[in-house]
A and B are shown apart, each in its own frame.
Chain A
Amino acid sequence: MAFYRSHVLVCGGTGCTSSGCQKVQEALATSLKREGLDKEVAVVQTGCFGFCRLGPIVIVYPEGAFYTQVKPEDVPDIVTEHLIKGKLVERLLFKEEMHEKPVSLYGDIDFYKKQHRIALRNCGAINPEKIGEYFAVDGYQALAKVLHTMTPQEVIDTIKASGLRGRGGGGFLTGAKWEFAARAVGDKKYVVCNADEGDPGAFMDRSVLEGDPHTVLEAMAIAGYAIGASQGYIYVRAEYPIAVERLRTAIAQAREEGMLGENIFNKGFSFDIELRLGSGAFVCGEETALLASVEGKRGMPRPRPPFPAVKGLLGCPTIINNVETLANIPPIILKGVEWFTSIGTERSKGTKVFALAGKINNTGLVEVPMGTTLREIIYDIGGGLPGGKTFKAAQTGGPSGGCIPVQYLDIPIDYDSLAEIGSMMGSGGLIVMDETSCMVDIAKFFLEFTQDESCGKCTPCREGTRQMLEILKRITGGQGKPGDIELLEDLAETIKAASLCGLGQTAPNPVLSTLRYFREEYEAHINEKRCPAGVCQALLNYRIEPEKCKGCGLCAKECPVGAITGERKSPFVLDAGKCIKCGACVAKCPFKAISR
């Protein structure tokens, strides 16, 4: 057996794969071999570190040096300077936005310091393709504990007492779900993992699957024991090829090690897991649609009751848990209810992973205790907004959620507080918007998404969202009419009240919440034909302000349609009739003399 003095961890998540981590890893292997260090230094491919903006990310242990945006040509420096001479490669070290000096060590970075990682505990820390590394971090200990020392009811009681709520959107109590399925009568029962992550921008489930697939398998086996199921399915989207591959590997290894299969730990409990690949229909995240898809039917929701816990997959009692939810199960079993309930708020226990996106410096994945404020997430962890722009709103909950305006920056975020202010936790997408974001346009974006992704089954969702979208298109296109806001509200109420599934019932939320907090923007679009954020092209009127124009002529040179004319050194003039509102002149003007 070899002993490695150093481990070089290379992120192998989807984000870093796109930015070229594979090449970096190959360069490392070659370079180490060339220097004769391949027996001393191990290269380890891990899952996502969450700091996706700066990928590919490389961490060198034992120091914990955090290198960002590493390119293959940086590898020789890492090897000869750091690994041979012991000198950190300063230029590659992460530099905190607010601080002068680079922060060398992983644990010192603000982005990580304020996080509390439970679901993501192993992401970026272990090699997801080696079950051994999962064993090393107490992997399958929870399953062993459950099978050796707990009755199924005790498992359910533990999960119930932990207060864990579903992380996929609904926030239903996980333990209660398990209990329903445990009590339901059925020859067969099933555990289904919902890995059909679909909210725009959200990728926490993918990260867990890529970085720590065994934790999902272990949790599913525990769930199977609790409800009396011997078969599990993971419904994962085919657009996650790395996650699918890692899951395949993990399932094979778990079977080989006896963590899945017949008579696990000789305790008379058998459980196995199969993958089912979905092709990325958003609605398949809805439980009953997911089950239909697993059964090979068109992914469409069906009315409830009967609930899946009573009549689910193939008519049998079934629990469906989301990936992040499951990733919480083994730690709860091992560390106990008291530990878990000490984290979070009164009615939302534990942590939540958020995917930071939009106008924020540190885009990526963060896991924070429930009750953390939006301000802490955006400013302390997310590093604030780039370019000194002002925070306008944050969108949470994806297409089912809503916008949180600036006055709520300091409310502690949990399931209930978000619902109260007209948004929702959803799966944890968090999109930050600044003053250059048009709220009507944002609402239109989400409506376009739901309309595209509506399964088309029920009338309110299929036809209602289409008509809402038409109205929003009209408003942003400068054709808004008095009464449009009322019509939107009328439709929104119908869709909320009468749609068949959660997708439809929540589809109007982005419109309703922007109407609630930014009604005046809608009114400006409709009544004044003006987009305050300067986004809606049809409403923009480019004009050169003569008092600011110095007559340099740069704008005229830049204009692709020759709409700007003038004599040098005197104010230029823009012909609105020719202008195509491309914005090229504004970007070019050194004097900010062009308004829109």
Chain B
Amino acid sequence: MKSWEELNQRRDEERSKISLRRSEAAVKIIVGGGTRGIAAGARAITSTTLDEILRHHLEGKAVVQLAAVEQEGCEPLVRIEQPGKEPVVYQNVTPERMQRIFQQHVLNGEVVKEWVMAS
């Protein structure tokens, strides 16, 4: 490395890899785990989410977390938290649905109303 710019670039790259340790993420995607969530396919949702993050280069900006929140008949659950906004919970998420939620909600800020869990 021979310049400050290079160093800054390196810092930003590296920071994105460890941002989840620093609670710096702009969006938190919480996948409902627990025994029921896993049985309903929460792991596939997690993988899809991770793929989406990678595809859209959001490493460092988005965090995926598993949580033991359960609601009978609604699994898998996905909760999206963004600072300054009300959290949104989606129910019966499939990998395909997750892709759309990602595209529409996470990237464009538009809630996918039809899948939002009734409260």
A265 in complex: contacting residue of B4, B20, B23, B25, CB < 8 Å: B4
What is the chain B residue whose CB lies nearest that of A125? B21
Asked if A87 is at the interface of the complex by the 8 Å CB criterion, the answer is yes
Name the distance in Å between A8's Cβ and chain B's nearest Cβ: 11
Interface 0/1 of A49-77, CB less than 8 Å to B = 00000000000011110000000000000
- Using A1-B54, A85-B66, A266-B2 as known contacts, say yes or no to A135 and B10 having CB atoms under 8 A apart: yes
- Using A84-B33, A85-B34, A136-B11 as known contacts, say yes or no to A3 and B50 having CB atoms under 8 A apart: yes
What is the chain A residue whose CB lies nearest that of B33? A86
CA distance A136 to B17 in the complex (A): 8
Asked if B107 is at the interface of the complex by the 8 Å CB criterion, the answer is no
Is the Cβ of A265 less than 8 Å from the Cβ of B35? no
Asked if A520 is at the interface of the complex by the 8 Å CB criterion, the answer is no
Is the Cβ of A86 less than 8 Å from the Cβ of B7? no
- With an 8 Å Cβ cutoff, the count of chain A residues facing the other chain is 36
Is the Cβ of B53 less than 8 Å from the Cβ of A62? no
Additional 12 contacts, C-beta under 8 A, given A5-B65, A136-B17, A144-B7 = A5-B50, A5-B63, A7-B18, A61-B20, A84-B43, A85-B34, A85-B68, A135-B10, A138-B11, A141-B11, A266-B2, A266-B3
Asked if B15 is at the interface of the complex by the 8 Å CB criterion, the answer is yes
Contact size class for B? Answer: 35 or more
**Which A1-56 residues have C-beta < 8 A from chain B?**
1-7, 9, 40
**Which B28-64 residues have C-beta < 8 A from chain A?**
28, 31-35, 37-38, 43, 46-47, 49-50, 53-54, 59, 63-64
Which chain B positions have C-beta within 8 A of A258?
1-2
Is the Cβ of B20 less than 8 Å from the Cβ of A5? yes
Asked if B67 is at the interface of the complex by the 8 Å CB criterion, the answer is yes
What is the chain A residue whose CB lies nearest that of B65? A62
Is the Cβ of A141 less than 8 Å from the Cβ of B7? yes
- Using A3-B50, A84-B66 as known contacts, say yes or no to A62 and B20 having CB atoms under 8 A apart: yes
CA distance A7 to B25 in the complex (A): 14
Asked if B14 is at the interface of the complex by the 8 Å CB criterion, the answer is yes
Is the Cβ of B65 less than 8 Å from the Cβ of A86? yes
A86 in complex: contacting residue of B4, B11, B34, CB < 8 Å: B34
Is the Cβ of A62 less than 8 Å from the Cβ of B21? yes
Main secondary structure of the interface of B (DSSP, over half): helix
Name the distance in Å between A410's Cβ and chain B's nearest Cβ: 35
- Using A3-B50, A132-B10, A141-B11 as known contacts, say yes or no to A86 and B66 having CB atoms under 8 A apart: yes
Is the Cβ of B46 less than 8 Å from the Cβ of A5? yes
Which chain B positions have C-beta within 8 A of A5?
20, 46, 49-50, 63-65
CA distance A17 to B109 in the complex (A): 46
Which chain B positions have C-beta within 8 A of A135?
7, 10-11, 14
What is the chain A residue whose CB lies nearest that of B54? A3
Asked if A240 is at the interface of the complex by the 8 Å CB criterion, the answer is no
Name the distance in Å between A270's Cβ and chain B's nearest Cβ: 13
Which chain A positions have C-beta within 8 A of B54?
1-3
Name the distance in Å between B78's Cβ and chain A's nearest Cβ: 12
Interface residues of B (CB under 8 A from A): 1-4, 7, 10-11, 13-15, 17-18, 20-21, 23, 25, 28, 31-35, 37-38, 43, 46-47, 49-50, 53-54, 59, 63-69
Is the Cβ of A133 less than 8 Å from the Cβ of B18? yes
Is the Cβ of B53 less than 8 Å from the Cβ of A86? no
CA distance A136 to B3 in the complex (A): 16
Asked if A528 is at the interface of the complex by the 8 Å CB criterion, the answer is no
Is the Cβ of A9 less than 8 Å from the Cβ of B3? no
Cβ-Cβ contact count across A and B, 8 Å cutoff: 100
Asked if A259 is at the interface of the complex by the 8 Å CB criterion, the answer is yes
Name the distance in Å between A92's Cβ and chain B's nearest Cβ: 15
B21 in complex: contacting residue of A7, A83, A144, A265, CB < 8 Å: A7
Is the Cβ of B7 less than 8 Å from the Cβ of A85? no
Name the distance in Å between A83's Cβ and chain B's nearest Cβ: 7
Is the Cβ of B68 less than 8 Å from the Cβ of A62? no
Which chain A positions have C-beta within 8 A of B25?
62
Offer 27 A-B interface pairs, CB within 8 angstroms, sorted by A.
A2-B54, A3-B59, A5-B20, A5-B63, A7-B20, A7-B21, A9-B21, A62-B21, A62-B63, A64-B23, A84-B33, A85-B35, A85-B68, A86-B32, A86-B33, A86-B34, A86-B37, A86-B65, A87-B68, A132-B13, A135-B7, A136-B18, A137-B18, A139-B11, A144-B4, A265-B2, A266-B2
CA distance A13 to B34 in the complex (A): 33
Is the Cβ of B3 less than 8 Å from the Cβ of A85? no
Which chain B positions have C-beta within 8 A of A40?
46-47, 50
CA distance A418 to B68 in the complex (A): 51
* 4 interchain residue pairs of minimum CB distance: A86-B66, A86-B33, A136-B14, A5-B64
Is the Cβ of A85 less than 8 Å from the Cβ of B37? yes
Interface 0/1 of A120-147, CB less than 8 Å to B = 0000011000001101111111001000
Asked if A548 is at the interface of the complex by the 8 Å CB criterion, the answer is no
Which chain B positions have C-beta within 8 A of A87?
33-34, 68
CA distance A86 to B29 in the complex (A): 13
CA distance A258 to B47 in the complex (A): 37
What is the chain A residue whose CB lies nearest that of B49? A5
CA distance A64 to B21 in the complex (A): 7
Asked if A346 is at the interface of the complex by the 8 Å CB criterion, the answer is no
CA distance A132 to B7 in the complex (A): 10
Is the Cβ of A259 less than 8 Å from the Cβ of B67? no
Name the distance in Å between B26's Cβ and chain A's nearest Cβ: 13
Name the distance in Å between B90's Cβ and chain A's nearest Cβ: 16
